[in-house]
Amino acid sequence: MVYDVGIVGAGFGGLAAAAELSRKGLNVLVLEASNELGGSAGKYERERYRFQSGATVGMGFEPGGVFDQLYKNLDLKTPAMKLLNPIMEIHMPDRTIHYYRDRNQWYNEIQRNFPEVSNEIKTFYEEIFKVGEMVDRLVEKLPIFPPKTMRDWLTLPSLMNQESIRLIPFLMQTVEDRLKKYQLHHYHLFKTFLNGELMDSVQTSVDRCPAFLGYAALQTFHKGAYAVHGGLATVAEQLADYIKGCGNEVKLRHPVHLVDKEGGTFRLHTKRKKIYEVKRVILNNSVHNFHDTLSPKLGKHSYIKEQKEMKRESWGAFIIHAGVDQSVFESTDVLYHQFIDPHHPEELHDGGQFLMSLSDPVDQKMAPEGKRSLTISTHTSIRQWWEAEDYNIKKERMKERLIQTVDHYFPGFSNHLDIVLPGTPVTFEKWLRRKQGKVGGYAPKGSYSWLNSYSIRTGIDGVLQCGDTVFPGAGTLGVTLSGLMVAKELTK
């Protein structure tokens, strides 16, 4: 049997593409290496707890959002979820900032925390909302970017209008440049807050973040952030069920170790010693793994060059999954918490800034009664974790640092932990097949760094790609959009 499309990886991009292609009547095969769906937004279970592998916040379920539209197109019922307001609490050395979804509440919180520059920050946020909405409207057209073919270039004029032209200054500046306009670039407290939000969403700081990317990320929080019951893996499971309901296949524990081509068809070789023939291929296993997956004969035709790709900057993640007594957090009903290390507030990675997500107390899928499932994650530089001689020492030291920081803000936290499972980039490579444990796409390095994005095209006819290393980038929203871009291209 020859499938119309073979998809390597059942992350959100691959599943979104497969669902959309299934809806349009194509014969699709999805092959996933692990025994779970969702990739870096998947889950696993231990001792009656369900833990989310990486991503935890649900975005795009607001009316007109990416997932709202996808679910309507597929005629699926959205899962149970909680709309977050406040979205999170940011715990800083001298204060706790309540990050409200509602704009008026957020402006009141700005007045409370930054009274001397509150007017400037409010004006800055008005610009964020305005520009972010313009970026959304542009990306919703699913453009192939950067353009790689003549057809890609010919479609660009159709995207140009008065609104997109107004975006040009924000394509040429960083968030730091925009802060200068409002005389906020020297206001340390607000920059510390912004750095925390941008590290979490765009993997970089204000001085390195392209303005339009930062604005799009910051305004997304205010459109609607959700705690999906059962975790984001619930969404992945629904998409997989839809794909199978259309008569197509989603196979777990089928790692693809080689993609080659014979005659007019591609062949997907799995480590189960099976070979599947497909007419076209979608790679949803990240560009980091690109040349490890394709045969050298195919790979040499790609514009993605292995040596160049290995030098590109990307983060890893240090993560802790744990169970904790409900009593520790009785003082707050907020599910998401960002922590700034009180002793090292300048550090934006390796524990200096990190996010903790708690399961909703009413979500019985996530934890036993009276307990909460939680995920703690911080960006980390990758190379240090591949030095075997002191790996366990570093792992234990990082775990203790994160736990002690939470303990500082929520006394008694460490004494009420039920199960503690730390993970490093080594863990991500082992379980999620992410090469060297690289997650979250590429870290922007300046105002024009977006020009170095990879598009859904690989340069190989019949082989496309999606995921967090492909435009429009990391996060379940960006990854899903790249999957929908691929589906659109394959059904033109």
pLDDT on residue 41: 92
CA–CA dist 360, 18 (Å, integer)? 30
Whether 159 shows a pLDDT value over 90: the answer reads no
Per-residue pLDDT tens for 37-74?
Answer: 999 999 999 999 999 988 899 999 999 999 999 999 99
SS3 state at 303: coil
pLDDT on residue 450: 87
CA–CA dist 373, 355 (Å, integer)? 14
pLDDT on residue 426: 95
Residue 178 CB neighbours (<10 A): 22
pLDDT on residue 164: 78
pLDDT on residue 310: 66
CA–CA dist 454, 438 (Å, integer)? 16
Residue 443 phi, psi (nearest 5): -80, 120
Position with higher pLDDT, 99 vs 389: 99
Cβ neighbors of 314 (< 8 A, separation 6 or more) are 288, 382, 438, 439, 440, 441, 442, 443
Per-residue pLDDT tens for 181-234?
Answer: 999 999 988 998 999 999 988 989 999 999 999 999 999 989 999 999 999 999
Per-residue tokens: 21:
């292609």
Torsion over CA: 473, 236, 374, 215 (sign): positive
Q: What percent of the chain has pLDDT over 90?
A: 77
Residue 53 phi, psi (nearest 5): -60, -40
In this structure, which amino acid lies at residue 17?
A
Per-residue pLDDT tens for 448-479?
Answer: 888 888 999 999 999 999 999 999 888 899 99
CA–CA dist 200, 189 (Å, integer)? 17
Per-residue tokens: 324:
């904790």
pLDDT on residue 345: 67
Per the rule left: phi > 0, alpha: psi between -120 and 50, beta: everything else, 174 is: beta
Name which of 266, 217, 245, 406 is nearest 322 in CA terms: 406
In this structure, which amino acid lies at residue 317?
A
- Give yes or no for a cis peptide into 86 (omega within 30° of 0): yes
Position with higher pLDDT, 431 vs 242: 242
Cβ neighbors of 199 (< 8 A, separation 6 or more) are 205, 348, 349, 353, 379
pLDDT tier, 342 (very low <50, low <70, confident <90, very high otherwise):
low
Q: How far is CA 462 from CA 60, 258, 279, 283, 487, in A?
A: 30, 16, 7, 11, 13
Q: How far is CA 41 from the centre of its chain?
A: 8
Give the mean pLDDT of the chain. 93
As a three-state string, the secondary structure of 230-275 is CCCHHHHHHHHHHHHHCCCEEECCCCEEEEEEECCEEEEEECCCCE
Report the relative pairing of strands 275-283 and 463-465 from DSSP bridges: parallel
Of 77-81, 143-147, 283-287, where does the model show the most confidence? Answer: 77-81
Q: How far is CA 286 from CA 181, 232, 296, 451, 473, in A?
A: 37, 19, 17, 18, 11
Q: Which domains does the chain have, with CATH numbers?
A: 2-76+230-311+444-490 (3.50.50.60), 103-109+118-220 (no CATH), 313-437 (3.30.519)
CA–CA dist 127, 248 (Å, integer)? 45
Residue bearing tokens 């140009």 = 160
Residue bearing tokens 């444990």 = 437
Q: How far is CA 369 from the centre of its chain?
A: 30
pLDDT tier, 417 (very low <50, low <70, confident <90, very high otherwise):
very high
Whether 17 shows a pLDDT value over 70: the answer reads yes
